[in-house]
Amino acid sequence: MLEGAIIGIIVAVIVMMIQKNKQKKALAEVNNSETLDTPSFSAFFHHATEKIFTGNGFKFFDGNGVGYLSGNNFNYKSKSGLQTFDLSICTIEYAGKKKKLDWISIDDNGTKHYFTSFQQGAFKMDGSEMNNFIEKLKEISPESKLDIV
């Protein structure tokens, strides 16, 4: 029984290390790229469609990738490609907490996209990155509905 617990801990640590390495590589790719504008904010995000976000299943996001703010645009780069949201046109709202994480929604021409960012710690998730992102969005779009309840 003790052997199983030790093996479980080792596997959990290895998975967390692999995930951290994946996030660092993705962020370094955006921050070190030769973009026209240096991003004012970048983080590793989880993206959910409305179907997944409003569903009650175990899965709470569709994919993950790097999101970064560049001027009035929020760019989300994942395996499926780059999505750009013009925040001066899109509706931005605080979508609430789901799975103990703060989420925002970006409504782009009637299609809602949900985003969250967190760092997995040993015993809990750190949502400070998402709070920083929400503060940046409030600066860019003061009329947005991003008040956390």
| pTM for this predicted structure | 0.74
Residue 49 burial (CB < 10 Å; 0-12/13-18/19+)?
Answer: middle
Digit-coded pLDDT (tens) for 81-108:
889 999 888 888 998 888 788 899 999 8
Q: State the pLDDT at residue 22.
A: 64
Backbone angles phi and psi of 125, in degrees to 5: -95, 140
Write the pLDDT tens digit of every residue in 11-69.
777 766 666 666 566 555 655 555 545 667 888 888 998 888 888 877 778 888 888 88
